Amino acid sequence: MAFPRGEDLKVTLEGAAKNYRAVWFENGRVKMIDQRTLPHRFEIVDFGRCAEVAEAIRNMTVRGAPSIGAAAAYGMALASLEELDLAEAARLLKASRPTANDLFFAVDHMLRQIDLGCDLVEAGDRYADDIVQRCSLIGEHGAALIKNGDRVMTHCNAGALASVDVGTALAPIRVAWYAGKRIFVYVSETRPRLQGMRLTAWELANEGIPHSIIADGASGHFMKDDIDMIIVGADRIAGNGDFANKIGTYEKAVLAKELGIPFYAAAPISTFDFSIDSGQKIPIENRDEGEILEIEGVRIAPKTSRALNPAFDVTPCKFVEGFITEVGVLAPGDIHKIRGGASDF
Amino acid sequence: MAFPRGEDLKVTLEGAAKNYRAVWFENGRVKMIDQRTLPHRFEIVDFGRCAEVAEAIRNMTVRGAPSIGAAAAYGMALASLEELDLAEAARLLKASRPTANDLFFAVDHMLRQIDLGCDLVEAGDRYADDIVQRCSLIGEHGAALIKNGDRVMTHCNAGALASVDVGTALAPIRVAWYAGKRIFVYVSETRPRLQGMRLTAWELANEGIPHSIIADGASGHFMKDDIDMIIVGADRIAGNGDFANKIGTYEKAVLAKELGIPFYAAAPISTFDFSIDSGQKIPIENRDEGEILEIEGVRIAPKTSRALNPAFDVTPCKFVEGFITEVGVLAPGDIHKIRGGASDF
């Protein structure tokens, strides 16, 4: 299915609209939008070494589970051009961040392409194209859930930036919007790194989709009367439907259940991890406390205070109305049906 | 009951420990700690005019329901020294912020002191002393709920800064700590104004009480395994036990119920508003969107994005285990017993 070009990531630079992917391969280098400097500076960075890509994942130049997967796939391509030990390169990339399943999925996929004798640059491009195609389908399936006039809440950024292009949680919102549905998006800012305020709002603003940013703690207040549905992304989905996503997701899921609001997670099959049967087995990354204690390089907290900074939380499957995937919207009890498809693309 | 002096607000300045109140009257002027510049700059500001006090409440130089009440009481004292129309001064002060009941309670209390022929400076001091005494009792009653080893979560700042001295939600924590109980406090940072990270952490750090700051959205994650009880303050408590408090409170209450964690609100009788029978009738202040879109004066959000910024939310009484007041810990169904006491101090 061809996804309408107008729904790709739009960026307006010096008055001209352009389309970008979050990460791509060009002239022997991995290029990516630096997601740390948005929304005020749009910068493309590029890397010629696998180790640099691993560092870019670690320091969140590129983030979002599917985009991390694509970056890692291209990292493997660079490793082959560098004539590195590919098993060692795979280990390096896999060690960059612990939670998102797509990272491991993509690296394992690339290792299989080596066994098949494929060119890894071409394999990386196929992986990225495939993600975009799958996200387009997520958009189609998810948009069918959105009614004209709906007010949709999302969290963090599960947009084009997070998934090479199109988006996971934002894909249904985009498709609904381009289909002419009047929608309004509540964007929780997503402390500590503010990916909601910095990235999701930027994507929505670029496309003219009506939205407001709210403090994370205001989600429950607005959910009482003003929210018709919630769509978030996912970093890893266990075999039982428990899933890890950006810290703050769990709270919204519990509130959605309390208030009768349907709560969806949107993700491609690459995010499902059938090797674990419970969300309790998903490793949760703890990031530097400075992300909490300082904002924009300015220390906010008292000198002697410390912080705890888990990057993700786990939402039990009982709070999920459905998983919006490329093969359709699945109830948590039905995800075993895609177990085979998750082994590889 | 005399509250041990060591449990007053401690501030260490140039190596010397000093005790302060959040607001007091001295030499014909209202003095207060400027709560906007903490934790890095400790500044005392002072005002000689009632209108300046109203502005200090509005711009949150002083904040926290009981401290707002005391500031307003002193504002009435200034109005009497200025020989202003006291009914007009009362209207001006009451218009400064809409949600906290203590503001209206204190101004009405002062109007009654006029009728009684009292000196308003002395009446203001009595009002402030009384709040401190009541907070001390809140500390005693609440500390009895805290067990050795408990991990307590709080939100925003309901400490000495918020209530002239001692605190409301922080009073039980302080009393438990000075009684030798090992406790640990989880401080949610409280976007947008970060009163948790700036003020509560500062108060706890000054006293050496172990604590960690967390992102607001991480509350649910930590509540799964790491929190034994939650104590928050309150800005207004309706006759049925629904109460308004800093935005984000409602979410914690719903999560506490889901996870079986006792959830308490600590407040003096001046916070109860028996003129309304439901939290739905509490006016919620919407503050400037710039508090969300900018941090430390730096614009974070995309240029064209807007924000919604309610300062408070309402927690239905069904989520409250008890109200910690100066007359004891009351179940929501029992608060009618203090209806008479709430009419005045």
**Taking 80 as the threshold, does the pLDDT of residue A105 lie above it?**
yes
CB contact under 8 A, A216 and B216: yes
Residues A237 and A301 reside in one and the same domain: yes
pLDDT tens for each residue of A26-81: 999 999 999 999 999 999 999 999 999 999 999 999 999 999 999 999 999 999 99
User: What's the confidence (pLDDT) of residue B10?
Assistant: 78
Peptide bond into B192 cis (omega under 30): yes
Q: Are residues A157 and A262 in the same domain?
A: yes
Q: Does pLDDT of A6 surpass 80?
A: no
Q: CB-CB: which of B39, B202, B302 is closest to A201?
A: B302
CA angle B235-B216-A200, nearest 5°?
Answer: 120
Residues B147 and B116 in one domain: no
| Helix (H), strand (E) at residue B152 | strand B151-155
- Domain shared by B79 and B102, yes or no: yes
pLDDT of residue A5: 45
In a domain? residue B2: no
pLDDT given for residue A345 in this prediction:
66
On chain B, the residues whose CB falls within 8 A of the CB of A307 are 212-214
Q: Considering only the beta carbons, identify the residue of A39, A218, A247 that sits closest to B310.
A: A218
Q: Are residues B268 and B310 in the same domain?
A: yes
Q: Which domain holds residue B338?
A: 143-344
B277 to chain A, closest Cα gap in Å = 19
Instruction: Name which of A40, A218, A305 is nearest B211 (Cβ-Cβ).
Output: A305
Backbone angles phi, psi at A194, to 5 degrees: 60, 35
* CB A195, CB B302: distance < 8 Å: no
pLDDT at B343 (0 to 100) = 59
Q: Provide the pLDDT for residue A298.
A: 94
B292: which residues sit within 8 A by CB, 6+ positions away? A189, A197, A213, A214, A215, B191, B192, B301, B307, B308, B309
Number of domains in chain B: 2
- List CB contacts (< 8 A) between B300 and chain A: 194, 197-198, 296
pTM for the model stands at: 0.96
pLDDT of residue A342: 60
Tell me how close the Cα of A300 comes to any Cα of chain B, in angstroms.
7
In a domain, A138, yes or no: no
- For residue A2, being part of any structural domain is answered with no
Tens digit of each residue's pLDDT (9 = 90 or more) over A300-329 = 999 999 999 999 999 999 999 999 999 999
CB contact at 8 A, A100 and A65: yes
The CATH number given to whatever domain includes residue A64 is: 1.20.120.420
For A148, phi and psi rounded to 5 degrees?
A: -55, 130
Selecting from A198, A202, A254 the residue whose C-beta is nearest the C-beta of B255 gives A254
Report the residue of B251, B259, B284, B319 to disrupt the A interface, i.e. the one with the largest count of A CBs within 10 Å: B251
CA end-to-end span of chain B, whole Å? 16
Q: Which residues of chain A have a CB within 8 Å of the CB of B310? A: 218, 221
Q: Is residue B308 part of a domain?
A: yes
* CB of B169 closer than 8 Å to CB of B195: no
Do A217 and B310 make contact, defined as CB atoms within 8 angstroms? no
Which of A99, A133, A167 terminates a domain? The answer is A133
Give the gap in angstroms from C-alpha A336 to the nearest C-alpha of chain B: 26
Asked whether residue B1 is assigned to any structural domain, the reply reads no
Same domain, yes or no: B289 and B332: yes
**The pLDDT of residue A344:** 65
CA distances (Å), origin B200, targets A40, A215, B38, B165, B197: 32, 19, 10, 13, 6
Beta-carbon separation of B293 and A197 below 8 A: yes
Residue type at B270 in one-letter notation: S
Radius of gyration of chain B (CA): 19
Does A226 share its domain with A183?
A: yes
- Residue of B204, B227, B116 whose CA lies nearest to B158: B204
Cβ contacts of A340 within 8 Å, gap of 6 or more:
none
CA–CA distance, A24 with A40 (Å, rounded to integer): 22
Give the H/E segment covering residue B294: strand B294-295
Mutate to test the interface with A, among B11, B207, B247, B261 (most CBs of A within 10 A): B247
**B107 located within any domain:** yes
Residues of B in contact with A222 (CB under 8 A): 308
Are A120 and A148 found together in one domain? no
Residues B123 and B175 grouped into a single domain: no
pLDDT tens digit sequence for A113-160: 999 999 999 999 999 999 999 999 999 999 999 999 999 999 999 999
Identify whether A1 is part of a domain: no
Flag if A216 and B220 touch (Cβ within 8 Å): no
Instruction: Tell me, yes or no, if B344 is annotated catalytic.
Output: no
User: How many Å apart are CA B239 and CA B273, to the nearest integer?
Assistant: 6
Contact (CB, 8 A) for B87 and B50: no
**Of B133, B154, B178, which residue constitutes the final position of a domain?**
B133
Which residue among A214, A309, A313 sits closest to B220, beta carbon to beta carbon?
A313
Q: Which helix (H) or strand (E) holds B174?
A: helix B170-178
Instruction: Note whether residue A250 is domain-resident.
Output: yes
- Domain match, B154 and B288 both: yes
B305/A194 CB distance under 8 A: no
Q: What's the order of all strands across the beta sheet hosting A211-214?
A: A328-330, A322-325, A263-266, A229-232, A151-155, A184-188, A211-214, B306-307
Active site residues of A: 235
- Do A125 and A149 lie in a common domain? no
Q: In the A/B pair of chains, how many CB contacts fall below 8 A?
A: 182
Report mean pLDDT in 10-residue bins for chain B, 345 residues. Answer: 54 80 97 97 97 98 98 98 98 96 97 96 97 97 98 98 97 97 98 98 96 98 98 97 98 98 97 96 97 95 98 98 98 91 64
Dump pLDDT digits (tens) for A20-33.
999 999 999 999 99
Specify the pLDDT at position A229.
98
* Chain B residue with minimum CA distance to A223: B251
A44 and A147 fall within a common domain: no
Chain A residues touching B302 at Cβ < 8 A: 39, 198, 201-202, 205
Cβ-contact B65, B101 below 8 angstroms = yes
Which residue among B133, B168, B194 closes a domain?
A: B133
Rounded to a whole number, what is the distance in Å from the CA of B117 to chain A's nearest CA?
A: 44
Q: What is the CATH number of the domain that holds A322?
A: 3.40.50.10470
Q: Closest-CA residue in chain A for B39?
A: A302
Which one from B165, B235, B242, B313 is the annotated catalytic residue?
B235
The confidence score (pLDDT) of residue A11 equals 81
